Chains A and B, each alone.
Chain A
């Protein structure tokens, strides 16, 4: 079953923060986050394994609450280069492949 991402779209001014949420109805082993720019391939951002860990990549970080089957992506002091569509890809505990959400379209304006 497909995870639910929210919001569907968000528009920011450069320097503002954003949070993207990903929620699943299944028990999860890990959550993968990707960013895709228009006309390009998805690019891997980070992977979070169960254990409630939090990871960071420059000013982008994420958390994973395995009990709630939720993950959140935090974008701090956004830059123009952050624009794109963000996908979460949870991996179910009993599964062998990712199921991607519909994506969150992020636009950062000057």
Chain B
């Protein structure tokens, strides 16, 4: 049973470009969570999605950031017009249901030049 998959593992963007981060949850998991982690800091919640629905986006910046989890395909975190402050590791986690254990993917390291 494959774990949570994220791609790309490393992403380099210039300021003003768009970044698209993908997350495929574990088989049988319909709940997806996105976190951001700055170097030497903790995991900051961004958004919680179920298939085709955003359940909680209270941790997501109001501008430039969006997330989706379509009926088919991976969950996508999209960052428009990236700035240097967006440089971080972005982790995706999935769980089979509400309040269940979350399993993390390997993360995407975003570097904005």
Contact = CB atoms under 8 A, between A and B. Distances in A.
A and B: bona fide binding partners: yes
Interface of A: 2, 29-30, 32, 34, 40-44, 47, 87, 89, 91, 96-103
Q: Which 7 A-B residue pairings sit nearest by Cβ, starting from the closest?
A: A41-B104, A100-B43, A102-B42, A42-B104, A97-B48, A41-B106, A103-B42
Secondary structure dominating the interface of A: loop
A40 B107 CA distance: 8
Contacts of B42: 2, 87, 100-103
Given A29-B99, A30-B99, A41-B91, A97 B33 contact: yes
Nearest to A97: B48
B43 A97 contact: no
Interface residues of B, number: 20
Given A41-B91, A41-B107, A100 B101 contact: no
Nearest to B100: A47
B107 to A, nearest CB: 6
Nearest to B98: A96
Contacts of B107: 41
A89 B102 CA distance: 10
